[in-house]
Structure 1
Amino acid sequence: MGHSSPGALRSLKQMAGRSLPALKRQYEAWRLFPDLWRDAAPTLVEAALDVECDLVYSTAPPMSVHRAASRISRQLDVPWVAEYRDPWHDQDTGRLAFSGTIMAAAANTMRRQIVTGPALCVGVSEGIVSWLEQEGAREAILARNGIPDRLLASPSARPAIDMHRTVYFGSFYLQRTPIPYLDALVTLRDKGHLSEGIALDLIGDVATFNNAPVSEMLERRGLSSATTTAARIPHAEVMERTRSAGLLLLLAQQQPRQVPNKLYEYLAANRPILAWVDTEGESARLLRQVGGHFLVTEQTPADEIPAIVRAAMDAAAGSWAPAHPEVLDGLRSSVQLESVVAAVQRLAGLGRS
């Protein structure tokens, strides 16, 4: 493997007599540095060197793409712009951390190269831009993924809204668990506060959470008959069901610097959102800016969650509207890209045409 070093291998062998979990972590760090796409980097470099260009633009993860872009920029002597959709091996991402492993020094060196090397870094959230600035980026700007313009266009015929149906699209992993929401439903039902005809759609990779079947969670709580689960469906159908839902459920905790693209699609649907988010995270910040949505955070007392869920359901059954709809226009993808286009043209020596 081209990324390994004799020193790292010696360190790995010296650990052979230690506990198996510790040795496994060291091996995984060595095997996965910097990520699973490392072997593609030389091919990217070779292909790019045959192309005439004025600028190199890379987007990651995978971070091996930035690694390749760094080499291409140096060899072609052109500016490099690096876009970060996620931080790399950051403690908030839940990914493998290289600190404390035999690859720690190499990881720190690479992080400096791919953050301080680009002429410009683009972060898709305020948290990522802040991280880039703290890590020493020469220049960092914000350009959110944003809401695709076509989703904000006035539909010719909006589907009928099922006021009592809550819809979740996505996966269950890390802290993206349905359990607190399901428990809140049980509490409301037992107190007689759950409306008749309430329905829940779980769509995506929702069969299990932490290897436990979600169907069993629903059955234990007496919610099976009110819940429909489905695997992935075509995106057009996703958007149709998003726009016709009474309430949209978002699970986005323990990733404070990231904004799920699903949130932008939810915002475009113009329906109330019940969101499990990080108190100071990007998703919470966006939802507060738009206003009118319902947030549960790590600081929310457990006994207050049912009341928040009930308030969200009541809003869905009424004439709900976002508090600050004008914010949505500023979140359009085309608006977000304007600063990137201007910066790229400046760096590449191009004038606006």
Structure 2
Amino acid sequence: MQISTRKFLFLSYYFPPRPEIGGKRVDKLCAVALKRGWQASVVSTSGDLAVDTSLAASVGDVALTLLDRSGARGGSIVKKRVRALFADLLAFMDVVRFFLAARRIKAVGAIPVVMASAPPRRVVVAALLLKLADKNTIFVADFRDPWLRGSEAGKSTLRAVISRYLLGKVLSGADLITATAQATLDQLSRSGVTGVREKSLLIPNAVDLHLFDNVSSRLFAAKNRVIFGHLGDLDYEHRNPVPLLQAVSRIKEESPRIFFGIEVHFWGESGYWQGRDLAGLIQDHGLESAAFAHATVDHNRALGIVKEIDALIIFAFNQPLQIPAKCYEYLLSGKPILALCEEGSETFRLLGKFPGVELVTSPDPDAIRRGVEKIVQDLSAPTETGFTRDLSSLDYEKVFAPLWERIEGMLHR
């Protein structure tokens, strides 16, 4: 297929100026493409931004079309349950909306390449429909997380059956399959669809090595305390703060000197565990003087917080096939990291390559307690015992270049 124009259309539920970390990957992928002479169009959702449906805007050199967001996360337990009842309908509506908006843009712009990044999976399904409508389209399916999670692969419920069916169609229809972790690609290659491994390409998340250069920090009031922080929503199953709070509670009981020298802060939306939100859990554990729940902050403010606090927390239990995108920014910060993840998981493998990371491979509160105390001890040591991290291999321009080289080769087949 001979196509002279370098144009691509990206379908992503998240994209700047929305703050979600999932949009940062798509933003960087577009940035690398623009430097290589491509023209970029993106269909995304508005989130809480005050925009009209299908409002066309411009973010840098990207032609951006924003759709109203349906089924937003967050809110009370009642609101979440109501959304869950209509989740499938909302997902179907999103597929239709993304497909119709993207088809119009693709036709007007004569765009040969369509990419979609999941989750959510609905944007990839919409991109598949574009491929089915025009077989000459080059369809790239990007997986930030696995399509099938936990026991979903073996379930016989209608939803699970449909999910596996759609995955098979996506893998069959895609011309190129990319993922952020090798374990995700391995799972996809075991789906039973032929040819998946041959058209797969590992494109890990990456980071702008100059991300913190112009970030200003706003220091906490001097308290002579070691400040731990987690940035990101805590409404996923694998981000359960209870074991960490239990660990801090045990430090309070058994090591009061250490307890009065630490604080733990959480920025982001809270889920519910045993019917309690994060603020309630903090109160239940008697940690009101040491643990604090804050609202979600925008990315620039988040970077300032990362730059100013002493240690960072990663929750990654029960997600062995993917790596939280914030890991890369945390590594770049040069701060100690308390990483809660299973041994052998993708997060474990990445973070284990770098110094200054305390890997806790069990949700046991005593194990987490030892990790917290180790970081406090290291921060109290003389500065010459510190560490440096060589992150040149995580530079996004270097990491993402092979994707565009592959697509450029496909254009001229």
TM-score range, shorter chain: 0.7 to 0.9
How far apart are the structure 2 equivalents of 1:71 and 1:113?
10
- Contact 2:212–2:307 (Cα < 8 Å) also in 1: no
Equivalent in 363, 368, 377 of residue 305 of structure 1:
368
Q: Quick check: 1:126 aligned with 2:188?
A: no
Q: 1:49 to 1:99 in 2, by over 3 A?
A: farther
How far apart are the structure 2 equivalents of 1:297 and 1:310?
16
Q: Quick check: 1:199 aligned with 2:263?
A: yes
- Contact 1:29–1:103 (Cα < 8 Å) also in 2: no
Deviation string for 1:40-95 (max 9, x for gaps)?
2344334423331333222223333323323333415133221111222x133x8x
How far apart are the structure 1 equivalents of 2:284 and 2:164?
47
Q: 1:34 to 1:107 in 2, by over 3 A?
A: farther
Equivalent in 158, 166, 182 of residue 110 of structure 1:
166
Q: Tell me the residue number matched to 2:232.
A: 170
Per the TM alignment, residue 195 of structure 1 is displaced from its structure 2 partner at its CA by: 5.2
TM-score normalised over the length of structure 1: 0.78
Q: Quick check: 1:146 aligned with 2:206?
A: yes
- Contact 1:172–1:205 (Cα < 8 Å) also in 2: yes
Q: Tell me the residue number matched to 2:21.
A: none
Q: 231-240 or 218-227, which moves further after superposition?
A: 218-227
Per the TM alignment, residue 287 of structure 1 is displaced from its structure 2 partner at its CA by: 0.7
Pairwise CA RMSD: 3.2
2:229 maps to a residue whose letter is V
- Contact 1:60–1:84 (Cα < 8 Å) also in 2: yes
- Contact 1:67–1:114 (Cα < 8 Å) also in 2: yes
Q: 1:140 to 1:223 in 2, by over 3 A?
A: same
Per the TM alignment, residue 340 of structure 1 is displaced from its structure 2 partner at its CA by: 0.6
* 1:201-220 map, 5 Å: 201-206=265-270, 208-220=272-284
1:77 maps to a residue whose letter is N
- Contact 1:202–1:228 (Cα < 8 Å) also in 2: yes
- Contact 1:83–1:123 (Cα < 8 Å) also in 2: yes
Q: Tell me the residue number matched to 1:65.
A: 123
Residue 290 of structure 1 aligns to a residue in which SS?
coil
**Structure 2: runs of 5 or more not aligned:** 1-83
Q: Tell me the residue number matched to 1:24.
A: none
Q: Quick check: 1:39 aligned with 2:96?
A: yes
Q: 29-38 or 220-229, which moves further after superposition?
A: 29-38
Q: Tell me the residue number matched to 1:241.
A: 305
How far apart are the structure 2 equivalents of 1:346 and 1:275?
39
Q: Quick check: 1:179 aligned with 2:237?
A: no
* 1:182-331 map, 5 Å: 182-192=245-255, 194=258, 196-206=260-270, 208-298=272-362, 302-318=365-381, 319=383, 321-322=386-387, 325-326=389-390, 328-331=391-394
- Contact 2:131–2:173 (Cα < 8 Å) also in 1: no
How far apart are the structure 1 equivalents of 2:215 and 2:127?
44
Q: 1:34 to 1:281 in 2, by over 3 A?
A: farther
Q: Tell me the residue number matched to 2:39.
A: none
Residue 240 of structure 1 aligns to a residue in which SS?
helix
Per the TM alignment, residue 207 of structure 1 is displaced from its structure 2 partner at its CA by: 7.1
2:174 maps to a residue whose letter is P
Deviation string for 1:281-338 (max 9, x for gaps)?
221111101233112223x655433222211222233336446x22x22112212101
TM-score normalised over the length of structure 2: 0.68
Per the TM alignment, residue 234 of structure 1 is displaced from its structure 2 partner at its CA by: 2.5
Q: 124-133 or 97-106, which moves further after superposition?
A: 97-106
Residue 131 of structure 1 aligns to a residue in which SS?
helix
How far apart are the structure 1 equivalents of 2:87 and 2:219?
54
- Contact 1:54–1:78 (Cα < 8 Å) also in 2: yes
Larger Rg: 1
Deviation string for 1:154-212 (max 9, x for gaps)?
x6988779761111112223131222112222222322351543222221113754530
How far apart are the structure 2 equivalents of 1:30 and 1:304?
37
How far apart are the structure 1 equivalents of 2:86 and 2:279?
35
How far apart are the structure 2 equivalents of 1:254 and 1:164?
28
